[in-house]
Structure 1
Amino acid sequence: MEKVRYGIIGIGNMGVSHAHNLCGEIRGAELTAVCDTNPERLEWAKQHLPESVQLFDEPEAFWASKAMDAVLIAVPHYDHPGMAVKAFENGYHVLVEKPAGVYTKAVREMNEAAAKSGKQFGIMYNQRTNPLYIKLRDLIQSGELGEVRRTNWIITNWYRSQSYYDSGGWRATWAGEGGGVLLNQDPHQLDLWQWTTGMMPKRVRAFCHFGKYRNIEVEDDVTAYVEYENGATGVFVTTVGESPGTNRFEITGDNGKIVIENDKLTFWRLRVPEPQFNREYKGGFGQPECWVCDIPVAGGGGPQHKGILQNFTNALLHGEKLLAPGEEGILGLTISNAMHLSAWTDDWVDLPLDEDLFYEKLQEKIAHSTFRKDPAAAAVLDVKGTH
């Protein structure tokens, strides 16, 4: 294979962005096909993409065409796993947009199909290319911070007005989107939370407010508390209803604390680890000497979507290791599913997640969803919305 031929299914906002990147921005890649059931989107593709790109108005013809080597899936959330399974069954490599899906039961089936296919499988976790989080992961995984004790992420700079939600009948509905701020805006943070620390919670207690700030049926304000196997704890706070918002990720360990905020990484580094200081210090009041270190991080925000596309292409052409293996998409989704389930049951949720119970509760929400009662809204379901 000299070049990777890509086909995109779902040519809405994210699909358009990926299409532009694949038309000359990614070394060793070319866009050869797109598929969308919305005639307006295909007309856009006809007008703006090279004539060599084949256009398909229904998935079965797209799968049967063999016009591509890899499929990039940019359809609505619920369809991610099913489309990926179809792509694997037809012999394609798969790169799926985030989130991996709406519920882990379907994502687990997707992961099993990927393993059975032997094909490459990636997910568009473009924030894994951000040098800030790469450096944070390195500082934690190398032991520089010591054992993690506490994680806190306040991510409230997701402001969305009512007009944003009114722009599509599927938005912010259980049947159309499958969730609110946790599933639409926060998948990257929920992924980075466990990816940088290398830790998944063992149990979750979450308080989700549904339609608190906006006239929507899904969650728009969340505060969650988690516990880890090593005794560490964590808090995750998010909303779409505050302005100005905050994006501050703080991780405390035996050797100090690290904070990412305002595109800076700061390490409050103890000269003596706290457990050692506590054992040895006999002076009553006192604390370890601490140095405030601004950690240099080069590269701005990183290559983002282009970085994931280039890495996936390199994996196919040269065997490069994937930055964001698709199988890992289930991890962040497990956390958001657990938060929803905790709020729905008003109780703790232990991990591994009870996937059948979550699915049952989700179906109850879907049965009463406003989108379900508005068939006309289905016309926009084939367009992947902006986050």
Structure 2
Amino acid sequence: MVGSALGSAAGEAPVAAEEVKEKGPLDDDRPFKLGIIGCGSQAVFNLMPSALRIKGIEFTAVCDIIPRRAEQAQKLAGGKAKVFDDYKDLLKNADMDAVMIVTPLHLHRPMVEEALANKRHVFCEKTMAYSIEDCKAMLKASIAAGRKLQIGHHLRYHPLYEFAKRHYIDAGLLGKVNNIHCQWNRNGTWKKRPEPGDEKVDFKKWGYEQLDHVVNWRLYKKYSGGLMTELASHQLDVVNWFLDAVPEAVVGVGKIDNKDGRTIFDNVHLIYEYPDEVQVTYESITTNSFNPFGLQAYEMFQGIKGTLVMAHLSNYVGLFFLEPGAAEKDWMPLAHKTKFPNENVPFKQHREAIVLNGTPSPGSRTEKVAGIDIVDVVDIKAARMREGFTTYQIELMEFRTAVLDGNRPTCDGIVGLRSAIPALLGNEAMESEKKVKVTEDMYSLT
């Protein structure tokens, strides 16, 4: 600002802000070739479209055992990607800088290990792996190979979650946090039907007992951790991140509501014990989708001074409710708010919430997520990410930077392991009907 003022005073034309702004990840257009193994819904509806919005990224190879999926992915990639039906062939022969593994959970370890053995950098979808030992094996393999391993916990890359962590949790606006509640409820069976032609798949070659297990692998314990690894792992990762801690124990109950032959729980309720006497309750069901804060999922952090609700699928991603009797900060009366009119709620502080929109409070600095200024990817007025940006996009921008520049990704294998453990032990607690302790050796690679 001073330099601009001096230049104008000397009769020089002021320099436009965009001409002097330091280049960042949004300006990066370096070529980056990706292969992808597993072309189901997560790949073709979320990851591939997000990656293809990034300048310089292209898909040169796609692989799936179901031909229609591989063809759909190839079409999405512009028709240029080479199609494989065997992941080992892709890993040996594809022209690519890195590979994305977006397959059923039980396949993560063998595929990641094979990729690393072929000196490939790897982006692996969450949850990291089917077991704690599998997670450790993948992490060891990445270290031995000297290749990047990034795990797809995409909420780590949500700019408003980063903003909430820094400006609400770390800033102490909630006071001492004693309770956290996470919910991801849906009303649907989660079951898919095979499509014409799928019956030709040689499913036994790949270890599946029947075609339904290929299409609905999430519903069977042999291949999946169910709700805990498909949904809860996202939210438990957020809890770990916001608390800068990992759980010490878990207890829970689970049951099966949809009696269609599935073997995973589709109704789960758990309690996690975290350090400093923080208790975390978790629920996920498939027969009712009610959510007072928006769509399906939220994480609610309750402190003695206020409550923070994060709901990444909803119109308002972040909401802050001040507790009655808690002192307001100077900026709070001017903050963007939304009403929760309800005559059953006695306290006015609980009938309105501050909407997190990425604007820091006076005197604080703008935060970054994966090197990107939050204000560059958040629509301040709408209080959500700008149209055309996704968390998947940001995490894949960072993946390219990690591979090409040798940087450590935000969500590397260590973070992946720490976030997998509570999800995997949650299933163990429900199945054993016992309290399960988290021990230090679960995090050790020796």
For the superposition of Structure 1 and Structure 2, which TM-score range results when normalised by the shorter chain?
Answer: 0.7 to 0.9
1:212, distance to aligned residue in structure 2 (A): 2.2
In the alignment, what sits opposite 2:40?
A: 12
Within 5 Å, which residues of 2 pair with 1:42-61? 42-61=70-89
2:439 is matched with which residue: 344, 352, 355?
Answer: 352
In the alignment, what sits opposite 1:82?
A: 110
1:20, distance to aligned residue in structure 2 (A): 3.7
Contact 1:100-1:123 within 8 A present in 2 as well: yes
Q: Please give the TM-score of this superposition, normalised by the length of structure 1.
A: 0.77
1:330, distance to aligned residue in structure 2 (A): 2.0
In the alignment, what sits opposite 2:390?
A: 303
1:93, distance to aligned residue in structure 2 (A): 0.9
Taking the aligned partners of 1:52 and 1:260, their CA distance within structure 2 comes to 40
Query: Residue by residue, what CA displacement relative to the aligned partner does 1:275-320 show, whole Å, maximum 9, x if unpaired?
Result: xxxxxxxxxxxxxxx8976143242146221121112112233456
Query: Residue by residue, what CA displacement relative to the aligned partner does 1:50-72 show, whole Å, maximum 9, x if unpaired?
Result: 35422222222212225111110
1:46 to 1:201, Cα distance in 2 relative to 1, 3 A: closer
Report the count of equivalent residues. Answer: 336
1:332, distance to aligned residue in structure 2 (A): 2.7
1:98, distance to aligned residue in structure 2 (A): 1.6
User: What letter matches 1:130 in structure 2?
Assistant: H
Taking the aligned partners of 2:232 and 2:155, their CA distance within structure 1 comes to 11
User: What letter matches 1:97 in structure 2?
Assistant: E
Q: In terms of mean alpha carbon deviation, does 320-329 or 165-174 score higher?
A: 165-174
Q: In terms of mean alpha carbon deviation, does 200-209 or 189-198 score higher?
A: 189-198
1:72 is matched with which residue: 86, 100, 105?
Answer: 100
In the alignment, what sits opposite 2:269?
A: 223
Taking the aligned partners of 2:310 and 2:44, their CA distance within structure 1 comes to 31
Taking the aligned partners of 1:207 and 1:294, their CA distance within structure 2 comes to 35
Residue 141 (structure 1) aligned with residue 170 (structure 2) = yes
1:212 is matched with which residue: 257, 263, 268?
Answer: 257
Query: Residue by residue, what CA displacement relative to the aligned partner does 1:90-114 show, whole Å, maximum 9, x if unpaired?
Result: 1111101122122111111101111
2:152 is matched with which residue: 113, 120, 124?
Answer: 124
User: What letter matches 1:257 in structure 2?
Assistant: T
1:223 aligned counterpart, secondary structure: strand
1:169 is matched with which residue: 212, 235, 249?
Answer: 212
Taking the aligned partners of 1:271 and 1:202, their CA distance within structure 2 comes to 33
1:218 to 1:165, Cα distance in 2 relative to 1, 3 A: farther
Residue 244 (structure 1) aligned with residue 309 (structure 2) = no
Query: Residue by residue, what CA displacement relative to the aligned partner does 1:206-232 show, whole Å, maximum 9, x if unpaired?
Result: 1111x2244332111111112122122
1:271 to 1:161, Cα distance in 2 relative to 1, 3 A: same
User: What letter matches 2:188 in structure 1?
Assistant: R
Q: In terms of mean alpha carbon deviation, does 173-182 or 114-123 score higher?
A: 173-182
1:166 to 1:9, Cα distance in 2 relative to 1, 3 A: closer
Q: In terms of mean alpha carbon deviation, does 340-349 or 301-310 score higher?
A: 301-310
In the alignment, what sits opposite 1:266?
A: 320
1:225 to 1:47, Cα distance in 2 relative to 1, 3 A: closer
In the alignment, what sits opposite 1:275?
A: none
1:109 to 1:144, Cα distance in 2 relative to 1, 3 A: same
1:333, distance to aligned residue in structure 2 (A): 2.0
Which sections of structure 1, spanning at least 5 residues, go unmatched?
A: 273-289, 356-387
1:186 aligned counterpart, secondary structure: helix
User: What letter matches 2:68 in structure 1?
Assistant: E
Calculate the aligned-residue CA RMSD, in Å: 3.0
Contact 2:50-2:390 within 8 A present in 1 as well: no
Contact 1:132-1:265 within 8 A present in 2 as well: no
Taking the aligned partners of 2:327 and 2:113, their CA distance within structure 1 comes to 51
1:347 to 1:176, Cα distance in 2 relative to 1, 3 A: closer
1:178, distance to aligned residue in structure 2 (A): 2.0
Contact 1:133-1:196 within 8 A present in 2 as well: no
Taking the aligned partners of 2:440 and 2:220, their CA distance within structure 1 comes to 20
1:235 is matched with which residue: 281, 284, 294?
Answer: 281
Q: Please give the TM-score of this superposition, normalised by the length of structure 2.
A: 0.68
Query: Residue by residue, what CA displacement relative to the aligned partner does 1:123-174 show, whole Å, maximum 9, x if unpaired?
Result: 2222223233222221223444344322112322x22236x25657222443
1:196 is matched with which residue: 232, 242, 266?
Answer: 242
1:189, distance to aligned residue in structure 2 (A): 1.4
1:239 to 1:255, Cα distance in 2 relative to 1, 3 A: same
Q: In terms of mean alpha carbon deviation, does 243-252 or 219-228 score higher?
A: 243-252
User: What letter matches 1:342 in structure 2?
Assistant: A
Taking the aligned partners of 1:101 and 1:125, their CA distance within structure 2 comes to 13
1:169 aligned counterpart, secondary structure: helix
Taking the aligned partners of 1:74 and 1:58, their CA distance within structure 2 comes to 14
1:207 to 1:354, Cα distance in 2 relative to 1, 3 A: farther
In the alignment, what sits opposite 1:179?
A: 225
In the alignment, what sits opposite 2:409?
A: 322
1:69 to 1:271, Cα distance in 2 relative to 1, 3 A: same
In the alignment, what sits opposite 1:287?
A: none
Contact 2:148-2:403 within 8 A present in 1 as well: yes
User: What letter matches 2:283 in structure 1?
Assistant: V
Contact 2:272-2:279 within 8 A present in 1 as well: yes
Taking the aligned partners of 1:128 and 1:147, their CA distance within structure 2 comes to 23
User: What letter matches 1:322 in structure 2?
Assistant: P
Residue 38 (structure 1) aligned with residue 66 (structure 2) = yes
Which is greater in Rg?
Answer: 2
Contact 2:173-2:306 within 8 A present in 1 as well: no
Taking the aligned partners of 2:189 and 2:424, their CA distance within structure 1 comes to 25
Taking the aligned partners of 1:181 and 1:48, their CA distance within structure 2 comes to 29
Within 5 Å, which residues of 2 pair with 1:336-351? 336-351=423-438
Q: Percent identity?
A: 22
